Amino acid sequence: MRKNVASQIIGAQMVNIADGLAFTGTARVAITIDGGVQDTTPGGTVTHEGRGFHSYNPTQAETNGDIIAFTFDDVGGLAVPCTVQVYTEVGADIAKVNGVAGAAVLLEGSVSTNLSGIASGVPTTTTMVSDITVSVDDQYKGRVIIFDNDTTTTNLQGQATPITGCTASTDTLIFTLLTTTPVSGDTFQVV
């Protein structure tokens, strides 16, 4: 769920306490944001969508937290209460960088050319074959390899090295000496 954004939907499957069959009656929702006091008078609408599935469209304010619990129940106590807990994420649409709209466009262009790769074969401290296709020799020369923070080889996590060449026939990247030899399966980005 997006944080602090309206027009979203959360849902829960509800059942009758008495027989365990789908609860098709009128449901309500209570909302708890970041472990605070539960709000039993939410601003959105609960809708029975069919076969016991109820949906709720929270207001923007009801999504303004890091962890939100939506507790579905009914007024008459006929349904088993059901809580759906979600972590929110912040969406980022950058319109300007340092107040300049054109800079945001340039940033998007530079990020969209980044590549994710996985080492294969038997890498050395200066070469490795990867799953990145090299169409022509030296295609990525001048770019930089940055090993992921969770790559297999601990000593390479976050390490960067410039690409000095590459070979199209074998998809081999050639780079400046690393401190540790990568292993097949190490993950990295080419920026």
Ordered per-residue pLDDT tens for the chain, 191 residues: 999 999 999 999 999 999 999 999 999 999 999 999 999 999 989 999 999 999 999 999 999 999 999 999 999 999 999 999 999 987 666 667 677 777 666 666 666 788 999 999 999 999 999 999 999 999 999 999 999 999 999 999 999 999 999 999 999 999 999 999 999 999 999 99
Last residue of a domain, one of 87, 122, 139: 87
Residues 62 and 119 occupy one common structural domain: no
Look up the domain containing 152 and give its range.
Answer: 113-190
* Domain total of the chain: 2
- pTM of the predicted model as reported, rounded to 2 decimal places: 0.51
Determine, yes or no, domain membership for 166.
Answer: yes
Determine, yes or no, domain membership for 53.
Answer: yes
Residues 135 and 173 occupy one common structural domain: yes
Residue 174's alpha-carbon distances to 78, 119, 164, 170, 171, in angstroms, are 67, 12, 6, 11, 10
Provide the pairing of β-strand 115-120 with 82-87: unpaired
Determine, yes or no, domain membership for 66.
Answer: yes
Determine, yes or no, domain membership for 154.
Answer: yes
Residues 117 and 78 occupy one common structural domain: no
Residues 118 and 79 occupy one common structural domain: no
Distance from first CA to last CA of the chain, Å, rounded?
30
Residues 186 and 121 occupy one common structural domain: yes
Residues 69 and 133 occupy one common structural domain: no
CATH (domain of 158): 2.40.10
Determine, yes or no, domain membership for 92.
Answer: no
